[in-house]
Amino acid sequence: MPDVDGERRVVISVPKDGFVYVLDADTGEFLSGRNYVPANWASGLDEAGRPIYLPDARYWEQPDGRAVVSPGGMGGHNWEALAFDPEKHVVFIPAATMPALYEASAADGLMGDIGVTFDGEYGSKGDPDWEAFGELVAWDPVLQTEVWRARHALPMNGGVLHTAGGLVFQGLAEGYLVAYDAATGERLWEAPAGGTVRSAPSTVMADGRQYIVVSSGNVATSVGATGFTSYSSVPRSRSRPRLLAFALDGSVAAPPWAEIPHIPAPPAARRDAALASAGAEIFVAYGCDGCHGHAGVSVGGASTDLRLRPPASAEYLRAVLDGALVARGMPTVEMTDDGVEALHAYLVNLAWDAHEGQDTAH
Ligand code: HEC
């Protein structure tokens, strides 16, 4: 246990790697550190604050060059604002458990070409190594222990606000603003925000009235990483950006949820499944999902939802990649003919899956 006697000015850092670090504010000296989410890559930190690595997570040393590592690259904690209770000395952490498959290609070896895959569907296939979820963690940085934790269904939620009245506010990916009892973690109140929340709420006084202000909705305010659509929103929380202000006796109706689009029948017949799965890899490797969304599900904004408008033919896709829509924001992408065929198969089959299932879960 850490040796922090009396008063000491410290810096508390909660990076992606899953550990809370407490450092001396004047010298940077490492004082203590402990994981706030499960970490399968390190058993702990040594006296200097360096990680004690676990062999199973060293993917480049595995026979197949692969390992599922948790926290993954999106972190235990990403950019969302933390909160701190200066009286009780509790840190509130918007945490995520989002394991990722790391893969070192045999050709490149260590520190070479590292492929990282997040696959939310593994969790639902019952493999606990892959389960993805979010948490609000109340953490005592002196004792380096958890005070309480509240679990969320999706991993990428909003930043945190702590108030002097003993409440902690956090917005959720599913589109609710929630208030917890800061001491116990009891869920005291919630209100629909009409859209997903990733920003941190803030509080202001105006004319003697206290407001809790938070932004919600697509892209501009909250869903920073469109490639993680299904981790940061549900279909009805993919709505346009809004700024909301809550007050105790507020009288404005809750904002409406997004309308869930009906997916029309695609303009081309289903294609070969193996070709489509090669296309799925290209879609991620070329960063198409960064604009068009995880599995082609857009979170709004300028980029087309490709389930609604899959390319009618490989020729059309070739023209798009060659720059036909560059003036509208679709970049020019160099691609082999085989790559274009595979991408076309992927996008057409994706649209068929969505059309037939009218799959609203992602
Ligand atoms: C920088 C963001 C960005 C990236 C990266 C990107 N796109 Fe696009 N894409 C767009 C935008 C914006 C449009 C919409 C153009 C418009 O409004 O007509 C678009 C349009 C398209 C269309 C045409 C849809 C239609 O309306 O017919 C296809 C197909 C497409 N993209 C496929 C891809 C593929 C495949 C990749 C990866 C190789 C990719 N895009 C990468 C932004 C992007």
Answer yes or no: is 79 within a domain: yes
Cα of 334 vs centre of ligand 1, distance in Å, is 13
Residue environment code for 88-106, b if the CB has 16+ CB neighbours within 10 A, otherwise e? eebbbbbbbbbbbbbbbee
Q: What is the CATH number of the domain that holds 320?
A: 1.10.760.10
Closest approach atom of ligand 1 to CA 302: 12
List, for residues 272-309, the tens digit of each pLDDT value: 999 999 999 899 888 888 888 877 877 666 678 899 99
Domain end residue (candidates: 228, 246, 264): 246
Does any domain span residue 267? no
Q: Are 18 and 25 in contact (CB under 8 A)?
A: no
Q: In terms of pLDDT, which residue wins out, 91 or 2?
A: 91
Whether residue 60 is contained in a domain is answered as: yes
115 Cβ closer than 6 Å to some ligand 1 atom: no
Weakest mean pLDDT among 134-148, 162-176, 208-222, 305-319 = 208-222
Distances (CA, A) of 78 to 131, 204, 244: 18, 25, 23
341 shares a domain with 201: no
Cβ proximity of 152 and 232 under 8 Å: no
Residues 109 and 204 in one domain: yes
Give the pLDDT confidence of 33-58 residue by residue, as tens digits.
999 999 999 999 999 999 999 998 88
pTM passes above 0.75: yes
Statement to judge: residues 224 and 286 lie in one domain: no
Please work out whether the CB of residue 319 comes within 6 Å of at least one atom of ligand 1: no
Task: Kindly give the distance from the C-alpha atom of residue 263 to the centroid of ligand 1, in angstroms, as a whole number.
Answer: 18
Please tell me the residue having the least CA distance from ligand 1 atom 6. 288
> What is the total count of domains within the chain?
2
Same domain, 236 and 316: no
Q: 153 and 83, same structural domain?
A: yes
pLDDT class of 8 with cuts at 50, 70, 90:
confident
Domain check: are 84 and 226 in the same one? yes
Residue 190 DSSP class = E
Residue 219 banded pLDDT, cuts 50, 70, 90? low
Six-digit token pair at 250? 């507020």
Compute how many other C-beta atoms are within 10 angstroms of the C-beta atom of residue 189: 13
Q: Determine if ligand 1 sits within 6 Å of the CB of residue 308.
A: no
Q: Find out whether the beta carbon of 310 lies less than 6 Å from any atom of ligand 1.
A: no
Q: How far is CA 110 from the centre of its chain?
A: 27
For position 124, which CATH number holds?
A: 2.40.10.480
Question: pLDDT tier at 358 (50, 70, 90 boundaries)?
Answer: confident
Q: Which residue has a Cα nearest atom 29 of ligand 1?
A: 311
| Residue 152 in domain | yes
Domain that holds residue 201: 56-246
Do 213 and 66 lie in a common domain?
Answer: yes
Pick the closest to residue 195 from 177, 169, 170 (CA basis): 177
Give the pairing type, strands 66-69 and 51-53.
unpaired
Both 208 and 299 in one domain: the answer is no
pLDDT at 287: 84
Contact 288, 227 (CB under 8 A): no
Q: What is the pLDDT of residue 223?
A: 46
- Cβ atoms 347, 268 nearer than 8 A: no
Same domain membership, residue 101 and residue 209: yes
Please check the confidence at residue 3 and state whether its pLDDT lies above 80. no
Q: What is the rounded distance in angstroms from the CA atom of residue 321 to the CA atom of residue 283?
A: 12
Query: Per the domain annotation, does 96 fall within a domain?
Result: yes
Q: How far is the CA of 330 from the centre of ligand 1 (A)?
A: 4
Tokens 């993917």 found at: 59
In a domain, 297, yes or no: yes
Q: Is residue 252 part of a domain?
A: no
